[in-house]
């Protein structure tokens, strides 16, 4: 048994008595399988698609926006729309009609998504459903011969992470996690700076998802369907939503492509907000009594990750404290650093931040080709300031040109694995827990991805009807 695998078993055993059901990590799940890769999906370029025929699953919070964005991109055919509630699928069809596009076939009910995946005229299944459905839907899509693109996180357990990896390798179908924050403007700028050595050797990074969702979303009966996101916080201790902060800095650190995450430790505060709010809401509305008296995830989670090369990443998660929004996005290297939050976004080469004119010159020199090509259009189309549209446009451009995707299945698995691993560590008094090598050693030779930093795009944008 390898040292790494022994470490997994040892660390899990230390905390096994504290682990609850739902996101627990078992020794079997945690160890990296000894069998070699079936196929290396990092850098894999699937055959070109002249048209990308898409089916959407989940048309509640995120899905309609994705349909609207894709309706602007040339080479896209939206063939199918699915939601558990039929009226949502029909409503999404109005987006296509407004754009002057043909109506899509609609699916509904608990099992409608399976029929959508099994259609013979789809190339890509785009998944915007509650978290626990991401893995089964992506797996079924790939087994049905389609590429899968899923909202974050892609998986909630290590078993599901491995299922995504194994299925993608065996089918040679892409499984991309739709981590839109990788395509925000400052994140792309700092990635290009990192690739060009501006920061020297990166040694530390920080990311976060600090967003007060408590009253407007978690306890809003008109928010997440069936109150699923509030329920997801019951009995949890770890970082439930790590990838918005982790994804962009992981790319700057070339995680999975020259380095990988080795182990983590995680600590969470007590819950000072959700349980009291449940009690408050229950006193006003009988509906909320079902949430009263339950144990909820604490306010702030801090998860610290160490990489194989000795670098560190701090990931924070807090969706219940009254704080301004932040993803931090901090990069620290031997020759410079960058920080996005708190605003304004800043870059330094020493003790002092660059002056405005110096920042302008830096942006002029290092703004990547993808932003120059599609950035202004993305801002006009929208989606979190344009980053959603850049992500969607880039995905379609890669598929149409037979290019490797910017985020592969190993990224989806590794970034998502922080959900169960941080939960296990926090429940075990912050014991260190190893992070599986989902590439099975290929990280040592995998090459960094292009991310559109150097141009070469061909896909255009439709004019509005």
Where residue 415 sits, what CATH number does that domain have? Answer: 3.30.360.10
| 117 located within any domain | no
* Chain segment 113-144, per-residue pLDDT in tens: 999 999 999 999 999 999 999 999 999 999 99
In this prediction, residue 6 carries a pLDDT of 37
State the Cα angle at 179 between 174 and 182, rounded to 5°: 110
Of 52, 45, 168, which Cα lies nearest the Cα of 447?
45
| 303 located within any domain | yes
pLDDT at 97 over 70: yes
What is the percentage of the chain residues whose pLDDT exceeds 70? 93
In this prediction, residue 16 carries a pLDDT of 36
| 201 located within any domain | yes
**Res. 456 pLDDT band, cuts 50 70 90:** confident
Q: How far is residue 114 from each of residues 39, 117, 173, 241, 330, measured CA to CA in Å? A: 26, 5, 17, 26, 41
| 378 located within any domain | no
| 313 located within any domain | yes
* Chain segment 265-278, per-residue pLDDT in tens: 999 999 999 999 99
| β-strand partners of 348 | 337, 353
Q: Average of pLDDT values for 171-187?
A: 98
**pLDDT, mean over the chain:** 93
pLDDT at 63 over 90: yes
pLDDT at 177 over 70: yes
* Chain segment 320-372, per-residue pLDDT in tens: 999 999 999 999 999 999 999 999 999 999 999 999 999 999 999 999 999 99
pTM of the model: 0.93
What domain range is 320 assigned to? 182-369+408-444
| 426 located within any domain | yes
| 278 located within any domain | yes
**Res. 28 pLDDT band, cuts 50 70 90:** low
Number of domains in the chain: 1
Q: Which residue has the higher pLDDT, 172 or 11?
A: 172
């Amino acid at each position: 048994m390898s040292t790494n695998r022994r470490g997994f078993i040892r660390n899990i055993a230390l905390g096994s008595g504290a682990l609850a059901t739902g996101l627990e990590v078992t020794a079997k799940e945690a160890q990296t399988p000894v069998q070699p890769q079936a196929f290396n999906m990092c850098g894999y370029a699937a055959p070109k698609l002249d048209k990308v025929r898409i089916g959407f699953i989940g048309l509640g919070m995120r899905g309609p926006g994705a349909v609207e964005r894709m309706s602007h991109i040339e080479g896209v055919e939206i063939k199918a729309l699915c939601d558990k509630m039929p009226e949502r699928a029909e409503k999404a069809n109005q987006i296509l009609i407004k754009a002057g596009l043909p109506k899509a076939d609609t699916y509904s009910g608990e099992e409608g998504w399976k029929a959508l995946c099994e259609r013979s005229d789809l190339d890509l299944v785009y998944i915007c459903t509650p978290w626990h459905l991401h893995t089964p839907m992506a797996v079924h899509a790939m087994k049905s011969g389609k590429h899968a693109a899923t909202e974050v996180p892609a998986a909630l357990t290590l078993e599901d992470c491995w299922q995504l990896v194994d299925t993608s390798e065996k089918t040679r179908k892409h499984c991309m996690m739709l981590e839109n924050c990788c395509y925000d403007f400052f994140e792309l700028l700092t990635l290009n700076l990192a690739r060009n050595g501006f920061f020297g050797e990166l040694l530390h990074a920080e990311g976060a998802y600090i967003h007060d969702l408590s009253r407007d979303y978690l306890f809003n009966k008109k928010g997440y369907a069936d109150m699923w996101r509030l329920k997801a916080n019951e009995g949890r201790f770890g970082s439930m939503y790590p990838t918005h902060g982790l994804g962009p800095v992981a790319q700057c650190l070339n995680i999975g492509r020259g380095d990988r995450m080795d182990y983590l430790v995680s600590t969470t505060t007590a819950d000072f907000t959700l349980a009291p709010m449940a009690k408050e809401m229950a006193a006003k509305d009988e509906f909320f009594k079902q949430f009263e008296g339950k144990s909820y995830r604490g306010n702030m989670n801090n998860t610290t990750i160490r990489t194989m090369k000795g670098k560190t990443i701090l990931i924070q998660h807090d969706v219940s404290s009254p704080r301004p929004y932040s993803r931090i996005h901090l990069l620290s290297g031997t020759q410079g650093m960058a920080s996005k939050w708190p605003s304004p976004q800043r870059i330094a080469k020493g003790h002092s931040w660059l002056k405005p004119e110096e920042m302008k010159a830096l942006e002029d020199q290092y703004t990547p080709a993808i932003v120059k090509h599609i950035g202004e259009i993305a801002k006009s189309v929208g989606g979190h300031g344009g980053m959603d549209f850049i992500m969607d446009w880039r995905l379609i451009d890669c598929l149409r040109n037979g290019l490797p995707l910017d985020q592969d299945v190993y990224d989806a698995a590794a970034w998502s694995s922080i959900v169960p691993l941080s939960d296990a560590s926090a429940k075990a008094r912050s014991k260190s827990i190893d992070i599986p090598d989902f590439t099975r050693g290929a990280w040592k030779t995998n090459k960094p991805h292009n991310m559109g930093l150097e141009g070469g795009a061909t896909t255009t944008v439709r004019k509005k009807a």
